[in-house]
């Protein structure tokens, strides 16, 4: 299982991840992108690749380490 993880300190709320995610994992909340449906993640790599702030990683399973692809 893959889980999208966002570092809210880095996220500027640009919305690029929302547009790039084919699984529709992300939503905007309080000016930040949040992985509302993070467990829908398919590890396509679109969100960490497109994030201009390097604020998104993909964790493997529960408690896995997030990493940028």
- pLDDT tens for 27-65 read 999 999 999 988 888 899 999 999 999 999 988 865 555
Whole-model pTM?
0.80
Question: If you write DSSP's letter for every residue of 33-49 in order, what string do you get?
Answer: EE-TTGGG-----HHHH
Phi and psi of 5, rounded to 5°? -125, 130
Task: Say what the pLDDT of residue 63 is.
Answer: 56
Residue 27 and residue 33: Cα distance in Å, rounded? 6
- pLDDT tens for 10-20 read 999 999 999 99
Say if domain 2-60 classifies as CATH 3.40.50.300. no
pLDDT band of residue 3 (cuts 50, 70, 90) is confident
Q: Which helix (H) or strand (E) holds 3?
A: strand 2-6
Task: Say what the pLDDT of residue 64 is.
Answer: 52
């Amino acid at each position: 299982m893959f889980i999208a993880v966002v570092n809210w300190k880095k996220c500027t709320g640009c919305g690029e991840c929302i547009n790039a995610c084919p699984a529709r994992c992300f939503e905007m909340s309080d000016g930040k992108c949040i992985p509302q449906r993070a467990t829908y993640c398919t590890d396509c790599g679109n969100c960490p690749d497109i994030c201009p702030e390097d604020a998104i990683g993909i964790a493997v399973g529960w408690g896995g380490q997030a990493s940028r692809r």
